[in-house]
Chain A
Amino acid sequence: MNLLNTFFNLPILIETFPLLLSGLVVTLQIGITSIIAGLAGGLFLALIRLYGPGPVPFLAKIYIDIFRSIPLLVLLIVVYYALPFVGIRLSPFVSAVAALTLVSSAYTAEIFRAGIEAIPNGQFEASQALGLSPRHMMVDVILPQAIKIVIPPLTNNCINVLKDTALASVVAMPDLLKQATQAQALSANPTPLIGAALIHVALLWPLVSIVARLEKRFGQEKR
Chain B
Amino acid sequence: MAPLISISNLKKAYGIFTVLHGINLDIAEGEVVCVIGPSGSGKSTLIRCINRLEAFSNESSIVVDGVTVGPGKALAKVRAEVGMVFQSFNLFPHLTVLKNVMLAPMRVRGTKPADAERKARELLARVGISEQAEKYPGKLSGGQQQRVAIARALAMEPKVMLFDEPTSSLDPEMVGEVLDVMKELAWMGVTMVVVTHEMGFARQVADRVIFMDGGRIVEEGTPTDIFDTPKEERTQSFLRAVLNH
- Binary interface encoding of chain B residues 73-91 relative to chain A, with 1 for a CB under 8 A from any of its CBs, else 0: 0001101101110101111
CB closest chain-B residue, reference A137: B107
Interface presence of A145 (CB below 8 A): yes
Interface presence of A122 (CB below 8 A): yes
- Whole-angstrom CA separation of A47 from B150 in the bound complex: 31
Which B residues are in CB contact (< 8 Å) with A129?
Answer: 51, 53, 79, 82-84, 86, 153
Q: Are B79 and A136 in contact (CB under 8 A)?
A: no
Interface presence of A126 (CB below 8 A): yes
| Number of inter-chain CB pairs below 8 Å | 60
Q: Are A126 and B107 in contact (CB under 8 A)?
A: no
Please tell me the number of chain A residues within 8 Å of chain B, measured between CB atoms.
17
- Whole-angstrom CA separation of A91 from B223 in the bound complex: 79
Contacting residues of chain B (150-177) with chain A, CB-CB under 8 angstroms: 152-153, 156
Which B residues are in CB contact (< 8 Å) with A122?
Answer: 86, 88-90
CB distance from B3 to the nearest CB of A (A): 21
- Whole-angstrom CA separation of A199 from B77 in the bound complex: 58
Q: Are B92 and A131 in contact (CB under 8 A)?
A: no
Interface presence of B103 (CB below 8 A): yes
- Binary interface encoding of chain A residues 145-162 relative to chain B, with 1 for a CB under 8 A from any of its CBs, else 0: 100100000000000000
Q: Are B107 and A123 in contact (CB under 8 A)?
A: no
Interface presence of A65 (CB below 8 A): no
- Whole-angstrom CA separation of A1 from B88 in the bound complex: 70
CB closest chain-B residue, reference A144: B94
- Whole-angstrom CA separation of A140 from B94 in the bound complex: 10
CB distance from B97 to the nearest CB of A (A): 14
CB closest chain-A residue, reference B78: A131
Q: Are B156 and A131 in contact (CB under 8 A)?
A: yes
- Whole-angstrom CA separation of A208 from B214 in the bound complex: 57
Q: Are A125 and B94 in contact (CB under 8 A)?
A: no
Interface presence of B218 (CB below 8 A): no
Which A residues are in CB contact (< 8 Å) with B92?
Answer: 123, 126, 141, 145
Which single member of B53, B90, B93, B108 contacts A132 (CB below 8 Å)?
B108
Which A residues are in CB contact (< 8 Å) with B83?
Answer: 129
Contacting residues of chain B (104-139) with chain A, CB-CB under 8 angstroms: 104, 107-108
Which A residues are in CB contact (< 8 Å) with B104?
Answer: 130-132
- Whole-angstrom CA separation of A125 from B44 in the bound complex: 14
Interface presence of A5 (CB below 8 A): no
Q: Are A125 and B107 in contact (CB under 8 A)?
A: no
- Whole-angstrom CA separation of A126 from B53 in the bound complex: 10
CB closest chain-B residue, reference A221: B138
Between A and B, 6 residue pairs with Cβ closer than 8 Å are A125-B90, A129-B79, A130-B108, A131-B80, A140-B103, A141-B103
Which A residues have a C-beta under 8 Å from some C-beta of B? 120, 122-123, 125-126, 128-133, 136, 140-141, 144-145, 148
Given A122-B86, A141-B103, 4 more pairs with CB closer than 8 A:
A125-B86, A130-B79, A136-B108, A144-B94
Q: Which 3 pairs, one residue from A and one from B, show the smallest C-beta to C-beta distance? A: A131-B80, A126-B90, A122-B90
